[in-house]
Amino acid sequence: MSGILNALELLCGEIKESFERMSEQDLHSIDEIRLRAGKNITVTVGSKDLFVTDTGAVTNDISSGLISKESDIEYAFKAAFSYSLHSYSKELAMGYITTKGGNRVGICGTAVVSSNKYSDVDTVKYISSINIRISRQITGFADELCRRCFLNGLSSVLIIGTPSSGKTTLLRDTARILGDKHKLSIVDEQNEISATYRNKPQNDVGTLSDVFVGYPKHIGILTAIRVMSPKLLIVDEIGTEYECDALESAVHSGVKLITAVHGDSLEGTLKRKTLSRLIELGAFDYAAVLHEGFKYELIKLQ
């Protein structure tokens, strides 16, 4: 079942009926569905935020758009958390959960924190908005990377890119290709690579891949090395000293790394103390620098 059809399971009443009346073309072009209590339902199609009518039409006319009721928000919220909030307390505190099909449901409401206002959020109450982000796996993006960097054996690759440049997409597709050939561990703290629902990845991340979901990255890295003896380790968005120390341990254990960092150039990344230490250590054989339009440049580091 596609991501959009799984998303419809979180809708109820008049709203669900309107989406069921929608044309196949409009339905499958939706990237996000947003419900805001007492406000118009919106769908994101590409870069446009549009409204949905009771007949299933998609329009930019706000006056004809359906309105979300509090009961619609409550239904979507409870359905996303499988009617068992206590089982997903961590996800509730983080403000999102991965649902069937790999969709990510984000919630907005009132945070409940401890007496220390600088501490983490304990939970969220009075949910006012729901954002259902439709999962779509893009394949073929890592073909060139795998062909050039893994032609003569295993290598380590550092992926560098700005937000929304495709870092996670490239990691996910690399896992799909290499995970069918090599023992691979994925440390997926935010569940963005595998989109694991319960115990099963909703994205294709390779037959030989083991996924560590929700682990803090540095703990997941060390755990993967200790219990799964991977040949390759994939981790998204590293940068803290703890994470880099853990990656250094992986290097000394003979594990090859494929990881991503936030940045707009190799030169800028080299200025970051923790990452430059790894590069000087010879932890990476290649860098893949992402550019606009889901393109990347491969640079041989050693």
> What is residue 119's predicted lDDT score, i.e. its pLDDT?
61
Whether residue 114 is predicted with pLDDT greater than 80 in this model: the reply is: no
Q: What is the pLDDT of residue 89?
A: 87
The reported pLDDT for the residue numbered 120 is 80
As given in the structure block, the two tokens for residue 291 are 């550019």
240-270 tens-digit pLDDT = 999 999 999 999 999 999 999 999 999 998 8
Quick one: pLDDT band at residue 78, thresholds 50, 70, 90? very high
What's the average model confidence in pLDDT over 66-76? 96
In this predicted structure, what is the pLDDT of residue 164?
A: 84
Q: What is the pLDDT of residues 144-189, one digit of tens each?
A: 999 999 988 999 999 999 988 999 999 999 999 999 999 999 999 9
pLDDT value, residue 80: 95
Closest CA to 238 of 266, 261, 219, 215: 261
**Residue ranges covered by each domain of the chain:** 3-133, 143-300
Is the pLDDT confidence value at 83 over 50?
yes
Token pair for residue 277?
Answer: 């230490």
Mean pLDDT of 133-144: 94
In DSSP notation, the chain reads --HHHHHHTT--HHHHHHHHTS-HHHHTT--EEEEEBTSB-EEEETTEEEEE-TTS-EES-GGGS-BB-HHHHHHHHHHHTTT-GGGGHHHHHHTEEE-GGG-EEEEEEEEEE-SSTTS-EEEEEEEEEEEEEPP----STTHHHHHHHSTTS---EEEEE-TTSSHHHHHHHHHHHHTTTS-EEEEETTS-SS-EETTEESS---TTEEEEES--HHHHHHHHHHHH--SEEEESS--SHHHHHHHHHHHHTT-EEEEEEE-S-HHHHHTSHHHHHHHHTT--SEEEEEETTTEEEEEE--
Specify the higher pLDDT residue, 116 or 154. 154
What average pLDDT does the segment 193-222 reach?
95
- Please tell me the pTM assigned to this model: 0.85
Kindly report the average pLDDT of the chain as a whole number: 93
Percentage of the chain lying above the pLDDT 70 cut:
98
**Residue 116's pLDDT is what?**
67
Q: What's the topology of domain 3-133?
A: Beta-Lactamase (3.30.450)
pLDDT greater than 90 at residue 2: no
Q: What CATH number belongs to 143-300?
A: 3.40.50.300
Segment 8-17 mean pLDDT: 96
Span 212-238, pLDDT tens digits: 999 999 999 999 999 999 999 999 999
Question: In the predicted model, what is the mean pLDDT of residues 4-14?
Answer: 95
Mean pLDDT, rounded, for 190-219 = 95
